[in-house]
Structure 1
Amino acid sequence: MTVKDLVRRARKARDSGKWNEAYDAYKAALDAADPVPSTSQERAELTGELGLCELALRKYRDAAEHLTWSLEQGCALTDEARLRFEMGQAKAAFYVIRLLLSVDPPDAEVFIDGKSIGPIARTYKLFLEPGQHMVRTRAPGREDALQMVRAEASAEIDLSMQLTRAAPRSAKDKGPAAPEPASASPAARPQAPSPWASWPGTLRIGGIAVTTATAAAGAVFLLRAHVVHGNLREADVVRRQQGWTSHTCREATAPAACAGIHDQVNQRDLFATLGKVSLATSAVFGVATAASFFTEVAVFGSAPRATSVRIVPVTTSERAGVLLEGAW
């Protein structure tokens, strides 16, 4: 069966909602396209369509990898395909951990949970299932480096691992090493009292923690609302192709599926409201925490160490928060 025949079969299964059959056909088409001279556009589209099938089958890690690779091909995709793949990639990333890994030296081999990740590179963009993972790197003449990674879904981690050179071993070093006599550790020097030791400092720590937590929760709620909204929009396109109109669910003989649609709409609105409230709460706590630095002189009669504290709101497509710059 040719690549065109496999693609035609995959599209037919996809349009019918037979995602397992579509997944098998797209995977076979991609495997068949690799050995022959195929255009970059064909490989990018096949990989992206395979990722959308994996997303529908809840294979979120594989979907994120394939959709990300497809989108990195740039102008090889059409505008319509790029839009669909970007929406799918955003949904898949919500359920996985995104690990941006850099290694030195660049010829080091990387293992995740004991399994090699494949071709050697200096930097990697990896997607992992939520939870705990062990990252190990090794290279000739270097000491192995180990790093434990633990995160929840939708987290993004930047990790840099540098392997130190292995110490040369002499003939004497090959034998068992004699135990070294234990020595008394030097007496610890008294530390100056921390500016956080007082109860105002404790309240500031709590204020920063609440600010960060509410900002993170708001970002998660808004992202969840975006995902639900995207699902509603895709489903609406399919229903309109089936003859639905904007008044179908308002009629007395409305289909039973309308109840599920209303539930999704309510869920989207709820997540959006919770996200906005959480971000607003984060801003209030952030301003209150910053204001405590300026009121310390009037209340306690002591001047803060810094001449000023700057508040910088930080907001991206995946997280939001407040950055405090200064010394206290």
Structure 2
Amino acid sequence: MMICRTLAVLLTAATVIAAPETAAAQPAPSQETARGADEVKRADAAYRKGLRLYTDGKYAEAEAELQSAWELNPTYDVAYNLGLTKYQLKKHKEAAQHLSFALRHWPLMKAAAEKRPEAERRLAVSRALVGAVNVVVSVAGAEVLVDGTAVGKTPLEGAVFVDPGEHRVEARLLGYETASQTVSVAKGGTAEVKLALAKSEAQAAAPSGTEAVGGSAAGAGAGAPAAGLAPAAPVEPASPPQPRSWVPVIALGAASVVGLGVGVGMTVASNNASADGRAQADAILKAGGGCPDAPPAYETACSDLRTTASRVDTFGRAATVAYAASGVLAIAAVTYALWPRSGTKASGKIRALPEAHIGYGGFVMQGAW
């Protein structure tokens, strides 16, 4: 039985973002936000088309649509339905991979919980027909390949499912020697693979080569007469401290305020979309309908509800990015304002490099003290 995107996704996204429900001017979405919204929209269209094809028994066509939705927006419900489709096509290795992903990310909502036992049953059947390989690599970020096909980067989220038989597992990372191991896996069995990556010879030789050159130079210097030594570089007198420019502080502070405003605007938009979704869901429930396995009479209403849920998710992500950017800019302004000034030229070698991620940000200071 297939599963549709329901109010669970909408309410989950709305709960994560807490902000006043007051009306505010909403800034135009950024190009990145618009591109993300377009991908979600296309994924939703492919997802719904895949559901219809599955219901009609056209599993090969449904697989292509659901695979497209998965590549654009890999969520638990897409993984669940794609896993069911692979199951019907007897592609049990891929079915197990997608169903296990869906179960790892299954939401704690009553409507979704009703479908979980079905996912567990199908996974158990597929799992009994294939093998599993748990791969652990000593270095994070390494690309893992099974029989020459990339399956992800370390650390892998879960087991890699394979056909019964012998398989070659490799781990590759720039600057390290490739590590590999061949394992044999039976139906329903599990193999453990642990790969230790060692630095390549070029990487390992670089520091020792540098030391060797330095040693030779020192030896030559020790044997040379004192008169032949190159004169030492003079120590330049310290120059008076330069006055601090407050223009960067003002510019960074203003940019931080703008980022905060964008975040508030996106949060308000997300809350508004969440309210719309709750109203749509209430209307469907009052009419005696429901979105899981929705009958034709409720297809339009459920489609609108899914679109609203996508809006909540898109605005929520945009708000998170805006808040993170605002925080990074604020940190930059404070760092510049409080950083001690020095009159020597060595101070010019100190650099502040911004480092921003979703949910947090900061600056990495490089230089000599």
Structure number with the higher helix fraction is 2
> Which TM-score bucket, shorter chain as reference?
0.3 to 0.5
Please identify the structure whose Cα radius of gyration is greater: 2
TM-score, L = length of structure 2: 0.39
The answer to which structure, 1 or 2, has the higher relative contact order (CA under 8 A, 6+ apart) is: 2
TM-score, L = length of structure 1: 0.43
